[in-house]
Amino acid sequence: MELERLHLFGDSVALSWAVRVGDTIHVAGMVGMDVDFDAPVLEGITFPRGIESQMRQAYANIAWILAKFDASITDIAQQTLFFVGDGAEVAAANKAVRREIFGDKTPASAMVGVRNLFDPRCLVEIQAIAYRTVR
């Protein structure tokens, strides 16, 4: 099987935002940045304030990427959430946001506290594996 890679922003970012093999989609760690994915160059990155807002934005970013492969957020089977800050606060935010995003169809998950992410304004990064389902 061949790997299909999603590259965005030309040569300004040296990573695949997602890689699809068959019906499996591996989404790179997505942060809660508010950015125009259709822009030719990654610039003007902003982050919403607060962990819940950044989680919602990270999931919106993941949903945008999955849509490029004809998949949706509910196709996520597994995710790892990396966070900066108070674990109890993040766990409470995670519980609320996941309920909004997934309802009762939550993916298998892990949460990992880290010292920092790529930008000091960044509080959360979510890496996901999704399986396209028959629609």
- pLDDT digits 0-9 by tens, 96-131: 999 999 998 899 999 999 999 988 999 999 999 999
**Which helix (DSSP H) or strand (DSSP E) does residue 94 occupy?**
helix 87-102
- Give the per-residue pLDDT at 41: 66
What is the crossing angle of helices 87-102 and 51-67, to 10°? Answer: 40
Q: What is the DSSP annotation of 20-57?
A: EETTEEEEEEEE--B--TTSSS----B--SSHHHHHHH
Structural domains present in the chain: 3-131 (3.30.1330.40)
- Give the per-residue pLDDT at 53: 96
Average pLDDT of 1-9? 78
Question: Cα-atom radius of gyration of the chain, to the nearest Å?
Answer: 14
pLDDT tens readout for residues 29-76: 998 988 876 766 667 778 899 999 999 999 999 999 999 999 999 999
- Give the per-residue pLDDT at 16: 78
DSSP state of 120: T
- Give the per-residue pLDDT at 40: 63
